[in-house]
């Protein structure tokens, strides 16, 4: 485990909220259909961050409790309460949500499973899920080599990411994910996703990552120059497009 995952995102909240990729609305439709959800179902979005997936679930009409350990992230997510009365934001971690036993019909985790202690997280999810409850793990997987821009983007992260390789090694693969759901069956669905970004948005997208140097770091200026060069060499119509495969792995936790 890398040290203090929640605090790695302190100071990155606005970049995260504005420039991270969104999640397709089809995710809510899929989970409603496959997990037998109703508008009375209680959903818990763990490591909700600024609420990017939370808002998709709320927009589909569900009641959602957003659990987030980072105070800055949680405050940003709480701003959604003004538009969605069905949202409740609470402080907590995947391994210790603080929620009552048997209180959730579905737990979602978006772009965060690799930060958790999986053994303790699974025990906590079993505790707070109702009998027959479901879990869904969602990742926007960035294409790495579909064209010259995506290859160069990856090289930039490797060059300037402070512990980029360590974070990549910690990411969840299909085998680790299936082990988390076992002995229940893990099911998967994928949706295409993308972002069209101007220069400012591309800079913000890169700075939203936990391993990227912050302003004041000795290599920050050099990195900014490389981002501008990456953009200028690959833009079309004032934007570059990052392509993703949004993967949804879901199943019951027993």
pLDDT at residue 46, as a whole number: 98
For residues 206 and 9, the model is more confident at 206
User: CA-based diameter of the chain, in Å?
Assistant: 54
Whole-number mean pLDDT of the chain?
Answer: 94
pLDDT at residue 167, as a whole number: 73
pLDDT at residue 169, as a whole number: 72
Residue 29 dihedral angles phi and psi, to the nearest 5°: -65, -45
pLDDT at residue 8, as a whole number: 79
pLDDT at residue 164, as a whole number: 76
Q: How far apart are CA 192 and CA 241, in angstroms?
A: 13
pLDDT at residue 4, as a whole number: 66
Domain annotation for the chain: domains and CATH numbers: 5-252 (3.40.50.150)
Average pLDDT over residues 178-205: 97
Helices (H), strands (E): how many in the chain?
10, 7
For residue 10, name the pLDDT band (cuts at 50, 70, 90).
confident
On the question of pLDDT at 147 being above 80, the answer is: yes
**pTM, entire model:** 0.94
On the question of pLDDT at 88 being above 90, the answer is: yes
On the question of pLDDT at 61 being above 60, the answer is: yes
Average pLDDT over residues 147-162: 94
């Amino acid at each position: 485990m890398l040290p203090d995952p929640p605090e790695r995102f302190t100071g990155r909240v606005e970049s995260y909220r504005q420039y991270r990729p969104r999640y397709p609305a089809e995710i809510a439709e899929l989970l409603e259909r496959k997990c037998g959800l109703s508008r009375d179902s209680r959903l818990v979005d763990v490591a909700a961050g600024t609420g990017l997936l939370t808002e998709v679930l709320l927009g589909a009409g569900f009641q959602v409790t957003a659990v987030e350990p980072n105070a800055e992230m949680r405050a940003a997510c709480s701003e959604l309460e003004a538009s969605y009365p069905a949202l409740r934001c609470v402080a907590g971690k995947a391994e210790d949500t603080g929620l009552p036993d048997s209180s959730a019909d579905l737990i979602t985790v978006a772009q965060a499973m690799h930060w958790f202690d999986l053994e303790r997280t699974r025990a906590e999810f079993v505790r707070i899920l109702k009998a027959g409850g479901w879990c869904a793990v969602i990742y926007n997987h960035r294409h790495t080599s579909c064209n010259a821009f995506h290859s160069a983007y990856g090289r930039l992260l490797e060059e300037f990411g402070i512990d980029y390789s360590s974070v990549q090694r910690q990411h969840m693969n299909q085998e680790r994910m299936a082990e988390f759901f076992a002995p229940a069956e893990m099911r998967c669905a994928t949706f295409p996703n993308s972002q069209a970004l101007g220069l400012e948005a591309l800079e913000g997208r890169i700075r939203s990552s936990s391993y990227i140097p912050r302003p004041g770091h000795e290599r920050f200026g050099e990195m900014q120059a490389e981002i501008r060069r990456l953009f200028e060499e690959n833009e079309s119509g004032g934007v570059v497009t990052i392509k993703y495969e949004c993967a949804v792995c879901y199943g019951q936790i027993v």
